[in-house]
Structure 1
């Protein structure tokens, strides 16, 4: 069986759980060597062990530019180049207008916007002509959700990055696309502060708005990221690919 990412070198930020981990697994299964990042060493080590082969974990926070410099120095030393970036690391917490704090705003924008921007910009010297950059956006970029205005604003910025960077990088033939997952329960939902019962109720309430009648899985998102990373999408550039069961499409 042919492998869609054979001999490619890829980076997945926020690769220790959920969509990031599922994507790193898919990348390796498709023949890539993968670097993953995460803020917590214990979780990073566990993810590397779970992936099993052709993977290296590098601890760091994407909102910390020194950590990004160290990341890319390591990638350059280990592999010399980078064919694919999945800028996946992100945070989100439900806080309604009237209760938004400066700390909440700064944390969300520093990771989802500043961190993503410099994740891509600092990687550019390592990306050869024909590389693929995939930005993890969200259906929140176009659909309003109570208490998620700050998060939604960061994801709208991510979508804008994809459009503009497509033009900035056209001479190098580097493709930039955004993927926008819908409702996909992951360990990242822990930051919402829900109890187990509240989390279940939240997911069930959201599933009612999805034409397919269910929420998605991290692996379903990962398969779509593989498509955007591979030559199967060689003429796909600047798009926002919704993988949401139709939730934001009707």
Structure 2
């Protein structure tokens, strides 16, 4: 192990990070990286089964708190924060990662679709941060998870894209609001990341190949591609970065594949 690796293994010792949508995909990848770096993690998600499996994958519950949570339900968020207070006392970071979507053309979307997607992706993110504020230590870090669809329109993604487009703006306002406490707020914006959610959206290897072909770097992203950026933004190594959006998409938004 190099000196740099040894530093990274220690940099989150004694710190606690809340991850919503932590049972799989990007959230689970971030949890794995944080535990490797010494953190305690509080994993929130809708599926009790997924959370329990995640805790097993992360090596048991010595450093993991699991809390079934629907982030669109403020009562659930209150119970989540109370559980973190009882177990760990304070928070040093939040990764507001929970998200949901519906792939449908505009004329096909219902009010229930609207309420579910906006309730999770925008309302849920806002109130996750708000409810966490009493536990967040001064000088801590918050990371929100947006999407490439905030920057590039997709016929079947109007509702999802709109819900995610609000997060970079929310990031800038929260960064201004919380700066007096030294709390930094930033956004990661993933592209095509190979997760269970992407598999559900694409439905087949053929469609996933179309997605891959849109990426300048020629591959789908991995959860760890995003998790490594989240780890950086939650750490002291990004201590002079706030109010920013980091796009992690292999060039999907900005580059035409050759």
TM-score, L = length of structure 1: 0.95
Q: Please, which runs of 5 or more residues in structure 2 have no aligned partner?
A: 1-5
Q: CA deviation at 1:210?
A: 1.1
Q: Alignment length, in residue pairs?
A: 246
RMSD of the alignment, in Å?
Answer: 1.2
Q: CA deviation at 1:201?
A: 2.1
Matched, 1:55 2:60: no
Q: Return the alpha-carbon distance in structure 2 between the equivalents of residues 145 and 161 of structure 1.
A: 22
Superimposed CA distance per residue, residues 32-71 of structure 1 (whole angstroms, 9 cap, x where no aligned partner): 0001011121111111111114111111111111110001
> Which residue of structure 2 lines up, in the alignment, with residue 90 of structure 1?
99
Please show how residues 1-250 of structure 1 align to structure 2 within 5 Å: 1-2=6-7, 3=9, 4-53=11-60, 54-189=63-198, 191-192=200-201, 195=203, 197=204, 200-250=205-255
Q: Return the alpha-carbon distance in structure 2 between the equivalents of residues 191 and 116 of structure 1.
A: 23
Given that 1:91 and 1:112 are in contact with CA atoms closer than 8 Å, whether structure 2 keeps it comes out as: yes
Q: CA deviation at 1:146?
A: 2.0
Superimposed CA distance per residue, residues 150-189 of structure 1 (whole angstroms, 9 cap, x where no aligned partner): 0000111111110110111111110000000000121123
Q: Please, which runs of 5 or more residues in structure 1 have no aligned partner?
A: none
Q: Return the alpha-carbon distance in structure 2 between the equivalents of residues 210 and 178 of structure 1.
A: 21
Given that 1:36 and 1:57 are in contact with CA atoms closer than 8 Å, whether structure 2 keeps it comes out as: yes
Question: In structure 2, the residue corresponding to 1:185 is in which secondary structure?
Answer: coil
Q: Return the alpha-carbon distance in structure 1 between the equivalents of residues 172 and 22 of structure 2.
A: 24
Q: Return the alpha-carbon distance in structure 1 between the equivalents of residues 109 and 231 of structure 2.
A: 36
Moved over 4 A (4+): none
Given that 1:113 and 1:158 are in contact with CA atoms closer than 8 Å, whether structure 2 keeps it comes out as: yes
